[in-house]
Amino acid sequence: MHTFNINRRKFLHTAAATLAISTLGAKGLDIIFTEKPRKVALIGTGWYGKSDLFRLMQVAPVDVVALCDVDKNLLQQAGQLVSQKQKTGKTPQLYGDYRKLLAEHELDVAIIGTPDHWHALTTIEAIKSGANVYVQKPISVDIHEGEAILAAARKYNKAVQVGTQRRSTPHLIEAKQNILSEGLLGKIAHIEICCYYHMRANGNPPNQSVPDFLDYEMWTGPAPMRPYDGLPHIRWWRTFMEYSNGIVGDMCIHMLDTVRWLLDLGMPTAISSTGGIYVQKSGKSNIADTQTAIFKFGDLDCVWQHRTWGAPADPEYPWGFKIYGEKGTLKGDVYKYEFVPTDKQAQTIKGTALYERELYPEDLKEERIELHAAPATRRHMLDLLAAIDEKRKPVADIEQGHISTASCIAANISVQLGGQSLTYDTISKKFVNNKAANKLIRRPYRKEWKHPFQTM
């Protein structure tokens, strides 16, 4: 068997701005972006929110005018970091309420880096205020929230890019162009996607007093109020279904979205799932530690599996995808891809992630940065800016983010219903012939917060 490593640089870029950044280097950005700096705000200043903002600041002239967070300590720290990175040295205005921020600033781009249960309300209000939006995945914690965001984006004609940046990942673009578009797999009828990372936070911290620097009431917002048992930041909030969609909503959405993009797939024709807490029962966490889901696309099955315990099925791909065709198999993840033909005399084709350490040496000093993902996020930001200027949909348009998010939420609903197969109708915005599933399609909101689907 022969191994053939593609010259990746020939296949990295689809947009003119992206091509320019790679070939001209950082100074080439002055050629691309000569207009007035765009006014930007970040809502949710935790780890990944700041990471997204910093990637945008690296590739385009922006004026970060405002930051918002309900944790005053996080907010102050973020303000200092941004002032150090802004060429002007200016510290953005700091807010504890996103509504006040949006009322006082006319933004070109709002970046949403909040926990999942806040994505819908903040995104919709940003759109209504006149901003284009970059929102992290999953876009919502229930299906009707996603429908409301999509409707708002279309009504106000705003570009909304979802943080499913595999669509802007250079080595996966290369695989799409060189393997799939060339038909090297032949007939495709089965896909496997998975995550076996031990990433499920689980513990029994005691209930305690809320610190004075955290507005826990505002942090909770429309979600159910849990007793305060420590700062919810990083992974603690993700371990509760009150605020998230579990591992499926955090990790499956990336790989499901990736294979949908690679194969040009739409909404699954049927979704079923089983799972639960089978091993890690000692702590407070209420998200599944084990789950299998089947997303059907006609005669093509896409099977998801996650376990937050034990060993991965394939140590080379603990979080990734495998696309099986009659002529070969395409394996991929955030670090690499590999095409293995069934014909043993044919070439194995491999590609690896692009790193830009030399072009962006500051990456090496950034706390918790994902070096393999930074180039993809930079390209994702460039695509959003190009989409705004060209009045087109970005590569991870809100509709695509909604399909991937809703599919994962439907998988969780299937678990609640004992593994029933569900079909979601995007026209009626309901599950087909399933009253029990439709009762779970929209979560109740707490107190004064109104579900955005009710006001469409």
Residue 140 lies in a domain: yes
Residue 403 lies in a domain: yes
The verdict on 77 and 179 lying in the same domain is no
Residue 300 lies in a domain: yes
230 confidence band (pLDDT: 50, 70, 90): very high
Q: Of 148, 166, 184, which residue constitutes the final position of a domain? A: 166
The verdict on 31 and 58 lying in the same domain is yes
pLDDT of residue 80: 98
Kindly report the CATH number assigned to the domain that includes residue 206. Answer: 3.30.360.10
Residue 189 lies in a domain: yes
Percentage of the chain surpassing pLDDT 90?
A: 90
Is the pLDDT score of 16 beyond 50?
no
The verdict on 327 and 306 lying in the same domain is yes
pLDDT tens sequence across 234-277: 899 999 999 999 999 999 999 999 999 999 999 999 999 999 99
The verdict on 155 and 197 lying in the same domain is no
Over residues 181-201, the mean pLDDT reads 97
Over residues 282-296, the mean pLDDT reads 98
Is the pLDDT score of 15 beyond 50?
no
Between 320 and 31, whose confidence is greater? 320
Is the pLDDT score of 397 beyond 50?
yes
The verdict on 99 and 196 lying in the same domain is no
Phi and psi at 23, nearest 5°, equal -90, -30
Total domains in the fold of the chain: 2
The verdict on 225 and 108 lying in the same domain is no
The verdict on 155 and 48 lying in the same domain is yes
The verdict on 331 and 437 lying in the same domain is yes
pLDDT of residue 429: 97
Q: Give the DSSP per-residue string, 81-106.
A: HHHHHSTT-PPPEEES-HHHHHHH--
27 confidence band (pLDDT: 50, 70, 90): very low
Pairing of strands 270-276, 290-297: antiparallel
Q: How far apart are CA 252 and CA 242, in angstroms?
A: 18
Over residues 329-346, the mean pLDDT reads 96
Q: Is 342 strand, coil or helix?
A: coil
pLDDT tens sequence across 59-94: 999 999 999 999 999 999 999 999 999 999 999 999
Full domain range(s) for residue 229: 172-360+399-455
Q: How far apart are CA 172 and CA 330, in angstroms?
A: 11
pLDDT tens sequence across 144-160: 999 999 999 999 999 99
The verdict on 151 and 42 lying in the same domain is yes
Over residues 162-184, the mean pLDDT reads 98
Among 33, 54, 34, 38, CA closest to 106: 38
Residue 230 one-letter amino acid: G
pLDDT tens sequence across 404-431: 999 999 999 999 999 999 999 999 999 9
Q: How far apart are CA 275 and CA 259, in angstroms?
A: 22
Cα radius of gyration rounded to whole Å, the chain: 22
Residue 409 lies in a domain: yes
Q: Of 134, 166, 198, which residue constitutes the final position of a domain? A: 166
The verdict on 276 and 161 lying in the same domain is no
Mean pLDDT taken over the chain? 93
Residue 52 lies in a domain: yes
Kindly report the CATH number assigned to the domain that includes residue 45. Answer: 3.40.50.720
pLDDT of residue 6: 36
Between 339 and 234, whose confidence is greater? 339
The verdict on 87 and 213 lying in the same domain is no
Q: Which residues of 249-282 are buried (b: 16+ CB within 10 A; e: fewer)?
A: bbbbbbbbbbbbbbbebebbebbbbebebeebee
Between 21 and 106, whose confidence is greater? 106
Residue 375 lies in a domain: no
pLDDT of residue 435: 98
Residue 58 lies in a domain: yes
454 confidence band (pLDDT: 50, 70, 90): confident
Query: Cβ distance 410 to 146 under 8 Å?
Result: no
pLDDT of residue 456: 67
Q: According to the 3-state scheme, what is the secondary structure of 203-268?
A: CCCCCCCCCCCECHHHHHCCCCCCCCCCCCCCCCHHHCCCCCCHHHHHHHHHHHHHHHHHHCCCCC
Q: Of 113, 138, 166, which residue constitutes the final position of a domain? A: 166
The verdict on 304 and 184 lying in the same domain is yes
Among 240, 244, 245, CA closest to 227: 240
